[in-house]
Chains A and B, each alone.
Chain A
Amino acid sequence: MIVPFGHVLMVAGIIFALGVFCAVVRRNLIMIVLGIEIMLNAVSIAFVAAALRWNNLEGQTFVLFILAVAATEVSVGLAIIVYAFRRTGSFDPSNFNLLR
């Protein structure tokens, strides 16, 4: 393994933190979903690196599952967002507080 495992984990951690930041800070539903996707990708990188590190294919299998889940999530999530936009005309999450 050319790149040390620790460095890969570091990159994954940074990307995860960026995802968290995006999901929490941005006042836009699409960007929140995007942030969640970025967090999923960071986890995927960590899984792939771990699979290489221990010569075990289970990590790569997990990544395939994560990709499937992420695709589903994006399609369903975007559909909800589009519907919500049609209802309210806004992407701002602070407008969606009916259950408050």
Chain B
Amino acid sequence: MVGSPVDAATLTALVPATMLPFVAFLLTFIFTRRFPRFSAGLSIGSIAVSLVCSLALLGLNLKMTGPMQYSVRLLASSGLDIPFGFLLDRLNLLMIVVVSAVCFLVQVYSLGYMAGDPGFSRYYSFMSLFAWAMLNLTLSPTILQLYVFWELVGLSSYLLIGFWYEKFSATQAGKKAFVMTRAGDAAFFIGFLLLFLHTGNLSILDLNGRAVSAALPPSVLTLSALLIFGGIVGKSAQFPLLTWLPDAMEGPTPVSALLHSATMVAAGVYLFARLFPFFSMSPAAMEVFLAIGTISMILASTMAIVSRDIKKVWAYSTISQLGFMIMALGAGGYFAGIFHLTAHAGFKSLLFLCSGVFIHRYGTNDVYELGRLGSRRMIVPTVSIIVGAAALSGFPPFSGYFSKEAIMGSLAELPNPAWLAAGLAGVFLTAYYSFRLIFILLLPRAWEAGPPAPISTARPPTREAGGPNSQSPHAGAETGHESHYWVMAWPLIILTAITVILGFFAGPVKDFLQAGITAGGTAEGGAFAWSHVAALGLAVAGAVLAWLEFGRSGAKQIGFVERIPPLYRLFAERWYIDHFYRLLVNLVVDRGISYLCYQNDNKVIDASIDELSEGTIEGGRIVAFLQSGMIQYRLLVIFAVMVLLSIYFFFQVI
């Protein structure tokens, strides 16, 4: 199964779309660091061109028949070919539009958010690097190329999380994100090496085709699918490796909006969708994926309902929504997962960007404090955040409703009703935590009645205090604030509009995607109406519960979980996953591996060198006994030797 060649018009749109952000990255990184406005212009200009090209690509190929592939040979050695190029099909047409659109909006927004930051040019160069890597990741025709850009995306994530590197917690968070995703990527790497050993081919189209994968033994298929899924778990912050994402909120808010909710973490889900026919050949692996998606979804939702940090709430919610996508894909709902990815990219970046406006204005991340400081007086972000939260909870007519409905439909088709039940519970929790936050923001209480005294283990709200833009969040020139506000408000308005209207395009998107997928087992239709009703009902129930506890006048704004301290502590401490990792690192790495290495260093390497040098010294001392420095001994030896030699020759001659 080889894709048809790419026509010239498509190629002329592809090359600038993928290369310009890289050029912008190099220029801004090397030459224009002193000229922040110029850097921002370059970066935004390049991503705007990418956006236009992506839209043109979508327009050109709206009626495409099959995947198109264009590749050149990058490396060749005996029997090994490493191609490099583009693969274009319906899935990544949709994806590049999403990526470039969100990148563009976030970069425009950052003009306001990052204004005056000393690292302004650096910020834009990293954003360009990310845009380039992400666009190429989506267009990669082989897993190897995908992996290269996958790592580059991870690198830009690391750089942007630790963007305010003067802040210790930011650098720590960057390291944590890097190390944890790397753990998953190692599995991913082993997984595709295994595939390569068995098939000698890493082309995505070939792997998705039946012939190559049918030749694999089922055990190898399942094993490599699970290992590749390890990369997805790392990148999309799923169950065992989910704790890096909340910490990644140390980065600037636009970064969280772009990388850690809308696009980069969705790369994992994208990979799942990319290799969907391949994965669906292993039912056992699909079952595992479904389970992991469900666990992450539920865990992250429970963490979100107790967090006081507005960005962390959205981060947990991102994890749980990614869990939803993986559940949908694991259940065979190809369209449901992709559509939820698209819708989520819109409304979650919207939510983050709204929070960014509040954070930028008031300099705090704490929801209660934001509400008290009067964030509801900012009309545009307040309206946008309500729309975003409604979409997140799955209320019609916003995009989230349609995608959640599709997910519930695909879950309802599974034989085991437990998955559907878990999904419905997730819907309830999602609505609850979204509207909890909204009500806290909109209807603040005075301190006295106010929030529950934080239990000692709760994390104090982290301010983005290291961020230079918070040096004078209030005192800044009011006109400057005003212009920043509008620069930030426009992307919000656009994203809100997208969130509102995207849902009505569910049908066309579905047709568009369904035509693209070739493998079987993705039966979609015949969704059960009652599951939709149940989902909507539970979402409303969640919102009503949030209203009762946080919204209605006289409510104490204490959640039902906070009334049960052990449960609250469990959720606030993220189910002790971080503690578990800390323990694991202590036991295995610190006391195990590094102790062994330390002993080896001390007792083997150092000791042997010490022994060697001491032996040399001792040997020298022993040899020095032979050397007395007396000339007469030497003379004596010379004579003795001469005598012996002469005796020897004398007898030899005879």
**Which residues of A does B touch, CB under 8 Å?**
20, 23-25, 27, 32, 93-94, 96-100
Contacts and interface: CB of A to CB of B under 8 A. Distances in A.
B636 interface: yes
A37 to B, nearest CB: 14
B631 A96 contact: yes
Contacts of B454: none
B632 A100 contact: no
Contacts of A100: 624, 627-629
A32 B627 CA distance: 20
A94 B630 CA distance: 5
A23 B632 contact: yes
Output the residue of A24, A32, A96, A99 with the most chain B CB within 10 A. A24
Contacts of A99: 629
B534 to A, nearest CB: 99
B627 A24 contact: no
Interface string B604-647: 00000000000000000000100111111001100100000000
Contacts, number: 29
Contact of A93 (B624, B630, B636, B639): B630
Contacts of B628: 94, 97, 100
Contacts of B627: 100
Contacts of A98: 629
A61 B628 CA distance: 40
Nearest to B627: A100
Interface in B123-181: none
B380 to A, nearest CB: 92
Given A99-B629, A100-B628, 9 more contacts: A23-B635, A24-B632, A24-B639, A93-B632, A94-B628, A96-B631, A98-B629, A100-B624, A100-B629
Contacts of A93: 630-632
B623 to A, nearest CB: 12
Contacts of B636: 24
Contact of A32 (B624, B629, B631): B631
A24 B639 CA distance: 9
A79 B636 CA distance: 24
A20 B629 CA distance: 19
B630 to A, nearest CB: 6
Contacts of A20: 639
Nearest to B629: A97
Contacts of B632: 23-25, 27, 32, 93
B640 to A, nearest CB: 10
A16 to B, nearest CB: 10
A98 B630 CA distance: 10
Nearest to A29: B631
A96 B634 CA distance: 13
A25 B635 CA distance: 10
B629 A24 contact: no
Nearest to A100: B629
A25 B636 CA distance: 9
A32 B636 CA distance: 12
15 contacts: A20-B639, A23-B632, A23-B635, A24-B635, A24-B636, A24-B639, A25-B632, A27-B632, A93-B630, A94-B629, A94-B630, A96-B629, A100-B624, A100-B627, A100-B628
A94 B628 CA distance: 8
Nearest to B633: A24
A22 to B, nearest CB: 11
A66 to B, nearest CB: 18
Nearest to B642: A20
Nearest to A92: B630
B433 to A, nearest CB: 86
Contacts of B629: 94, 96-100
Output the residue of B624, B627, B631 with the most chain A CB within 10 A. B631
A100 B633 CA distance: 13
Nearest to A94: B630
A27 B636 CA distance: 13
Nearest to B624: A100
Contacts of A97: 628-630
A27 B586 CA distance: 72
A25 B631 CA distance: 11
Contacts of A32: 631-632, 635
B544 to A, nearest CB: 100
A87 to B, nearest CB: 16
Contacts of B635: 23-24, 32
Contacts of A23: 632, 635
A20 B636 CA distance: 8
Nearest to A23: B635
Nearest to A99: B629
A93 B634 CA distance: 12
A100 B632 CA distance: 14
A23 B632 CA distance: 7
Nearest to B643: A20
A96 to B, nearest CB: 7
A93 B630 CA distance: 6
A11 B572 CA distance: 112
B478 to A, nearest CB: 88
